[in-house]
DNA sequence: CATGAATGAGTTTTCATTCAT
DNA sequence: TATGAATGAAAACTCATTCAT
């Protein structure tokens, strides 16, 4: 068991290279082959490191997938929150959210797929579930606020969020199939449609 | 390799018992633990058969998951198609579809989860992909017809369908979490919202 | 464990059919795939009987191979002995032996291969080894007699027999390859050569 | 599937130790128990390595037996060819060949038994069959040359070789039984007898 | 620090044998 | 008496993890 594992935010660079390479390789392979379907030696090879090296950065395979989940879900949350302006046109606000989701899915398609696929895996630990919880709460609060201001359709906010996020996941899945690119036009079109899911009428 | 594998549609009953027990156990465990995360002996135990028995009914584990996928996706397609009336009020038609999706997900929650989770797994074979294709084509044709009749929003039908199905998947996922039941009220509420995704305005 | 197993020399025929079919199938498959390489269900299929039926005639797979070995080695010994005339021209006597070996190998090529291949297998039991012993003793006595009468080369009779039998086995193996038939000409030619192995000069 | 399997001709020593240990153990056990009769864990134990280690050196059990066959048959061919002088007394030449066969069988009795036993096993691959072919061609050419020079008996060279090699195999089998040692006297005696198989008269 | 060869526990799969029919 | 579906013990093989270098 490594005594002091190199942290991701190390200052010196170089130390972190391998950790990042491992995480990147894991992201790809876990999406492609699944967690249990990915052998550590293969992962090591894809990352360009020795198999043993992985265990210098992560306690074991399970820890690795949990770190991966936590980091990316956090990153997604941060991304969605960034540039969020509380007041303003409700539709513009929604479209902003939809665009940020799209940005993220377009920029990190594998990471978005990873998050989506692993959202309820048996090997996710308490920490990962907590990140998950906070993410959902954030979303729910967003909806509740908009409902409180009379902008959004009434109803259980979790349900509304499930529909909106689900719709986006459907779009992202389809674009992952390679038969659709997330162009600005597609994003506008789908965002406009999704807006109707939530808007009060 | 079994020479003549017992078929599902056996006449005499009893022949099919074990096959069905294996499929049921696999459904549960593949959802719970994933395909690679499910060991065959565990599967056998859950099905109440010997480990070797599984190989009398399925060539190997991969064949098993593919049969499972094919059968359930087919069942879903049949279910969605059943009671579909071509002409009629567009919204009523949509709500009918949404209700049938809900029926299915409520009646077979594990199967619906299974289908949703495995939709693009590396171990699905050509036959499974074909079932998948036909399913999508069916959906696309439905959307196209409605668009042609001027009832639905214009735009790529696959995108519209991705949004609608995604929204429903989001709902189903959330209900699987145990914090929401798919009551008629929830179904009406969500269906009304989802209808807005597609309706022309 | 069958109480009274049907014997090979049953009078009524019919009873023996299956036993014979099993032995025939086993002969072929043990030569083709080896003893451990032959699965009992395959054997059953080739014999045209149910897998369980094999256990009505033989205690287990090992007993089967031992019966097979014993019966065929005995049959070979009987065949070689038949028509053996103690006095007479030594070369004619040798050629008679060589011809009878050839007859046997030509008439029962699979059985001859089986005997040859299994001559020292780990799963042969005491009874089979005893048959083996008697066979060798018979051969040795034949050689010793001929030596005593001054017709054969001096030297360890087992060695002489090993050379002669080995030479024939070499021939039989080659003919099994399909590139040579054991025609009367080939038998005469090889017998003449083999005769030189043993003849006194 | 190992990516880069350690090769036999490694420079640094030590690399090859385990590979050699595995091959040696396999040689013994395949002769003793047969290919299908030898379980990999037993093989590993005999070789003093972990079961998994075998798969670092050989793709599977079948590859192992094929490498074994190829290496030893090649070694036998090389040994028989070594010190072969084209011109010279025909009998001396034959006796030289017989002695080299004996040397080999005496020095590597298990390997000789292995080669002999596996000469036509179902699991030998194309490469092994090719080695086999080349070996036979070599033998045939040797006989043909001697025939062309009028030293050997006329007749199909493959048949003559089958008789000679068969005779030697008979001798080797018998000596393996433990009741005969391949002493120089036995080799001379048997060689003299075998010479009569082929010599022209 | 980094490695990758080595491992044995655990996986998938096979198969000799049994037994209900 | 004959069967072949069912089985679990044992086979072949994989892989997460360790550790000597």
C1' of nucleotide F18: residue with nearest CA = A52
For residue B13, what pLDDT is reported? 45
Nucleotide nearest A41, CA–C1', reads: F15
Angle at B134 between CA B133 and CA B136, to 5 degrees: 65
The pLDDT tens digits for C27-36 are 999 999 999 9
Q: Across the interface, do C170 and D171 touch by the CB < 8 Å criterion?
A: no
Instruction: Confirm if C175 and D156 have CB atoms less than 8 A apart.
Output: no
For D170, the closest of C34, C37, C162 (CB atoms) is: C162
Give the bases of strand F that a protein CB approaches within 7 Å: 1-20
Compute the nearest-CA separation of B11 from chain A (Å): 38
Query: Which residues on A lie below 8 Å from B32 (Cβ)?
Result: 122
Nucleotide nearest C40, CA–C1', reads: E16
Judged against a pLDDT cut of 50, whether residue A12 lies above it is answered with no
The pLDDT tens digits for B63-108 are 999 999 999 999 999 999 997 777 788 999 999 999 999 999 999 9
For residue D8, what pLDDT is reported? 53
For residue B1, what pLDDT is reported? 41
- Calculate the alpha carbon distances from B185 to A147, B99, B108, B182 in Å: 19, 11, 19, 8
Residues shown for chain A:
201
Q: Across the interface, do A171 and B180 touch by the CB < 8 Å criterion?
A: no
Compute the nearest-CA separation of C13 from chain D (Å): 35
Domains of chain A with bracketed CATH = 13-61 (1.10.10.60), 64-198 (1.10.357.10)
For residue C85, what pLDDT is reported? 76
For residue D65, what pLDDT is reported? 98
Compute the nearest-CA separation of B76 from chain A (Å): 18
Residues shown for chain D:
201
The pLDDT tens digits for D43-100 are 999 999 999 999 999 999 999 999 999 999 999 999 999 978 777 889 999 999 999 9
Looking at residue A39, the DSSP 8-state letter turns out to be -
Q: Rounded to an integer, what distance in angstroms lies between the CA atom of residue D140 and that of residue D158?
A: 6
Q: Across the interface, do D37 and C33 touch by the CB < 8 Å criterion?
A: no
Residue of B171, B96, D188, B170 lying closest to C156 (CA atoms): D188
Instruction: Confirm if A21 and A49 have CB atoms less than 8 A apart.
Output: yes
In the structure, do chain A and chain B come into contact, i.e. share 3 or more CB pairs under 8 Å? yes
Is C34 an 8 Å CB contact of chain D?
Answer: yes
Is B159 an 8 Å CB contact of chain A?
Answer: yes
Looking at residue C5, the DSSP 8-state letter turns out to be P
Cβ-in-10-Å burial (0-12, 13-18, 19+) of D66 comes to buried
Angle of helix A109-117 versus helix A157-174 axis, rounded to 10? 130
Question: b/e for B26-61, b at 16 or more Cβ within 10 A?
Answer: bbbbbbebbbbbbeeeebbebbebeeebbbebbeeb
Query: Which residues on B lie below 8 Å from A120 (Cβ)?
Result: 173, 176-177
The pLDDT tens digits for D143-163 are 999 999 999 999 999 999 999
Q: Rounded to an integer, what distance in angstroms lies between the CA atom of residue D146 and that of residue D149?
A: 5
C1' of nucleotide E4: residue with nearest CA = A50
The set of residues, in sequence order, having a beta carbon less than 8 Å from that of D159 and lying 6+ positions away, is C171, C174, C180, C186, C189, C190
Residues shown for chain B:
201
Query: Other C-beta atoms within 10 Å of D200: how many?
Result: 12
For residue B11, what pLDDT is reported? 43
Residue of A61, A76, A74, A1 lying closest to A25 (CA atoms): A61
Owner of token pair 């011809």: C99
C1' of nucleotide E10: residue with nearest CA = B39
Report the run of H or E that residue B78 belongs to, with start and end. Answer: helix B61-81
Residue D161, Ramachandran bin (φ over 0: left; ψ between -120 and 50: alpha; else beta): alpha
Instruction: Confirm if C62 and C166 have CB atoms less than 8 A apart.
Output: no
Compute the nearest-CA separation of D1 from chain C (Å): 24
| pLDDT band at residue A10 using 50, 70 and 90 as cut-offs | very low
Q: Across the interface, do D159 and C189 touch by the CB < 8 Å criterion?
A: yes
Q: Rounded to an integer, what distance in angstroms lies between the CA atom of residue D105 and that of residue D182?
A: 9
Nearest CA in chain C to D122: C33
Token pair belonging to B160: 């519209």
Q: Rounded to an integer, what distance in angstroms lies between the CA atom of residue A46 and that of residue A26?
A: 8
The pLDDT tens digits for A113-147 are 999 999 999 999 999 999 999 999 999 999 999 99
List subunits contacting chain B, requiring 3 or more Cβ pairs under 8 Å.
A
Angle at C58 between CA C52 and CA C60, to 5 degrees: 80
User: Would you call B152 helix, strand, or coil by DSSP?
Assistant: strand
């Amino acid at each position: 068991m490594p005594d002091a594992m190199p942290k991701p935010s190390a200052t010196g660079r170089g130390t972190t290279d391998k950790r990042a390479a491992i995480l990147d390789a894991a992201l790809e392979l876990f999406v492609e082959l699944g967690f249990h379907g990915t052998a550590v030696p293969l992962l090591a090879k894809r990352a360009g490191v020795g198999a043993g090296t992985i265990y210098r950065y992560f306690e074991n395979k399970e820890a690795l997938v949990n770190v991966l989940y936590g980091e990316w879900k956090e990153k997604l949350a941060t991304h969605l929150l960034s540039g969020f302006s509380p007041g303003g046109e409700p539709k513009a606000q929604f479209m902003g959210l939809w665009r940020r989701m799209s940005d993220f899915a377009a920029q990190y398609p594998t990471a978005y797929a990873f998050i989506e696929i692993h959202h309820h895996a048996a090997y996710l630990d308490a920490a990962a579930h907590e990140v998950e919880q906070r993410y959902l709460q954030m979303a729910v609060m967003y909806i509740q606020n908009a409902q409180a201001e009379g902008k959004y359709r009434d109803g259980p906010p979790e349900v509304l969020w499930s529909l909106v996020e689900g719709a986006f996941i459907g779009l992202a899945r389809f674009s992952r199939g390679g038969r659709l690119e997330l162009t600005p036009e597609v994003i506008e079109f789908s965002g406009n449609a999704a807006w109707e899911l939530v808007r009060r009428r």
